[in-house]
Amino acid sequence: MLATIASAAAAIVIYRFITNLASVNYEPGMRPLFSPLGLFGAIIPTCWWNPGLKWVWEWRNSNFRNHEYDVVSLVPILVGNPYYYTCSVDVVKQLLNNESKTRLVKPRWLTAPLLLWGENIISANDDMWKRHRRILSPAFTFHTYSLVVSETIAVYREMVIAEGWQGQDTITIADVSPLPHKLALSVIARCGFGLGLPWVDPHPQKNEMSFGESLTIVSSSAIARLILPSWAYKLPIPSVRSLDRAWKTLATFMNALVDRRKAELDDQPVDNDQSEGGDIFSRLVGAMSVDGASKLALGKPEVIGNTFALLFAGRETTACALVATLGFLAIHQDHQAAAYAEIMANIPSHRDPMLEDLSKLPHLMACYHEAIRMYPGGAMLTREMTEDVSIQVSRPVERTMVLKKGALMVVEMIAVHHNPHFFPNPDEFRPSRWYNVLETDIPMFGFGPRACVGRKFSHVEAMCFLSLFLRDWKLDIPLAAGETRGEYETRVMGRAGQVGMAFGCGPVALNLSRRIC
Residue 449: count of CB within 10 angstroms of its CB: 13
Question: What's the rounded Cα separation, in Å, for the pair 65 and 28?
Answer: 9
452 is in an annotated binding site: yes
pLDDT in tens, the chain (517 residues): 778 888 888 999 999 999 999 999 999 999 999 999 988 998 999 999 999 989 999 999 999 999 999 999 999 999 999 999 999 999 999 999 988 788 899 999 888 888 888 999 999 999 999 999 999 998 899 999 999 999 999 999 999 999 999 999 999 999 999 999 999 999 999 998 888 888 887 665 666 788 888 888 888 888 888 888 999 999 999 999 999 999 999 999 999 999 999 998 888 765 544 445 567 898 899 888 766 556 778 899 999 999 988 888 878 899 999 999 999 999 999 999 999 999 999 999 889 999 999 999 999 999 999 999 999 998 899 999 999 999 999 999 999 999 999 999 999 999 999 999 999 999 999 999 999 998 888 888 888 888 888 899 999 999 999 999 999 999 999 999 999 999 999 999 999 998 888 899 989 999 999 998 6
User: What pTM value is reported for the model?
Assistant: 0.93
β-pair type (83-86, 408-412): parallel
350-372 CB burial, b ≥16 within 10 A, e <16: eebbebebbeebebbbbbbbbbb
Class of domain 2-514: mainly alpha
Residue 264 to residues 207, 288, 289, 507: CA-CA distances in angstroms? 31, 13, 12, 42
Contact 413, 113 (CB under 8 A): no
Nearest to 343 by CA among 517, 164, 137: 517
- State the number of CA atoms in the 13 A half-sphere of 112 facing the CB: 11
Cis peptide before 180 (omega within 30 of 0): no
DSSP line for 14-70: HHHHHHHHHHTTT--EE--SB-TTSHHHHHSPPBTTB-TTTHHHHTTTTHHHHHT-S
Question: What's the rounded Cα separation, in Å, for the pair 131 and 149?
Answer: 29
- Going by the DSSP 8-state scheme, the letter that residue 137 receives in this structure is G
Nearest to 312 by CA among 447, 249, 221, 201: 221
User: What are the domain boundaries of the chain?
Assistant: 2-514
Residue type, 190: R
